[in-house]
Amino acid sequence: MRIGLLTGGGDCPGLNAVIRAVVLDTLRRDGECVGVLEGWRGLIDDATRRLGRDDVRSILHQGGTILRTSRTNPFRSADAVERLLATWKKLELDALVAIGGEDTLGVAARLFREFDLPIVGVPKTIDNDLSGTDYTFGFDTAVSIATDAIDRLATTAESHNRVIVVEVMGREAGWIATHAGIAGGAAFIAIPEREVSVAEIGRAVRARAEAGQSYSIIVVAEGAAVAGLGRGRRSAADEFGHALLGGIGQQVADALEAETGFETRVTVLGHIQRGGSPTAYDRVLATRLGLHASELAHKGDFGRMAALSGAEITSVTLEEAVAEVKTVPSELSELAAIVSG
């Protein structure tokens, strides 16, 4: 079989581990792999490269993606879809493994549904906001990086009796904020799923001060809902309708300092959360998901996405995976609130 592979959307530690797994499994089955460059753009513009054994040596631990990525949406124009189909035909692909999040897999689901293209998906995003899978690879790495940052910020915050607001990524879901906030022992965690007020955050800071803790770390998701403050949109919508988020951390810091009188600083972690090597957990998860996707492709079980369910790797339909954004359940945020402060 000739299997195409592409990575779309924001990059994420573990992408190369998936590529390696699919290539190794395909070669083992006497198949061949074609790397499609820069997500769906590579199929529209016919930009590809061969992927042999040597191409996937020493990439397991590397962040980013050797195939590059983009946020190209072929359904933005009829012409792009036609060109994509023409490239597919020219390449004589028997299957495509699309590694991506909600947007990339949304395109995959539509191409499968409307054109019967033999596609399987692998769930990728640091945001962990994809339905149908318990976790996505990249999330553990992002949480580890954010937790390490919180640990570091805590020592300087404590030395100066300061409040430090840490803004983390995650789009419209508070997964990174919740997990890193719990792991880092944050005084307060603000997420998109539950609106909070600056007064509420201020109460947490004051309560700590009264208990003898003269510093606080406040974790704020980039999409956090804070009453009276804008959601920090920084750009026009991209081809999938998403605006770039960011800036809410500074707004919270300013309002909190005015509210409490505590000296407050802000740190925006930004793309640091997406760069560098994947954790061991993400390497293993990405490898397992890649092997499962490869098996689905070789078996001809298309229109599905490899997924993690408990400790098992299984699969769900692409439609199921992209049906809705997976947000933090109230049970988890309530649990986080119990141990915050």
Q: Are 69 and 63 in contact (CB under 8 A)?
A: no
Would you say 239 and 102 are in contact if contact means Cβ atoms under 8 Å apart?
no
Which residues from 263-282 bind ligand F6P, rule CB under 6 A? 274
- The Cα–Cα gap between 193 and 239 comes to 24
- Decide: is 179 part of the binding site for ligand F6P (CB under 6 A): no
Dihedrals phi, psi of 184, to nearest 5 degrees: -95, 0
Rounded distance, CA 127 to CA 147, Å? 15
> Among residues 164 and 169, whose Cβ is nearest to ligand F6P?
169
Of 81-89, 91-99, 165-173, 292-300: span binding ligand F6P (CB under 6 A)? 165-173
Smaller CB separation from ligand F6P, 55 or 238: 238
Q: Which of residues 217-246 bind ligand F6P (CB under 6 A)?
A: 222, 244-245
Q: Is 126 in the site for ligand F6P (CB under 6 A)?
A: yes
**Is 140 known to be catalytic?**
no
Query: Catalytic residue among 127, 129, 140, 282, which?
Result: 127
- Print the binding letters for residues 10-29 with ligand F6P: x by CB under 6 A, - otherwise: x-------------------
| Residue among 17, 109, 119, 169 that touches ligand F6P (CB under 6 A) | 169
For ligand F6P (CB under 6 A), the number of binding residues is: 11
CB of 107 to ligand F6P, least distance (A): 15
**Pairwise CA distance, residues 197 & 69, whole Å:** 38
Work out how close the CB of 126 gets to ligand F6P at its nearest, in angstroms, rounded to a whole number. 5
Cβ nearer to ligand F6P, comparing 274 with 304 = 274
Show contacts with ligand F6P in window 243-262 (CB under 6 A).
244-245
Q: If binding is defined by CB under 6 A, does position 170 make contact with ligand F6P? A: yes
CA distance 322 to 336: 27
Q: Applying CB under 6 A, which of residues 125, 128, 260, 294 lies at the interface with ligand F6P? A: 125
- Dihedral of the CA atoms 124, 128, 133, 138 (nearest 10)? 40
- Part in contact with ligand F6P (CB under 6 A); list of ranges 75-83, 92-100, 120-128, 185-193: 120-128
Q: Interacting stretch for ligand F6P, rule CB under 6 A, among 36-44, 164-172, 179-187, 282-290?
A: 164-172
The minimum distance between CB 240 and ligand F6P, in angstroms, equals: 10
What the block records as the tokens of 38 is 């820069």
Catalytic residue positions, numbered: 127
Give the interface with ligand F6P as residue ranges (CB under 6 A).
Answer: 10, 125-127, 169-171, 222, 244-245, 274
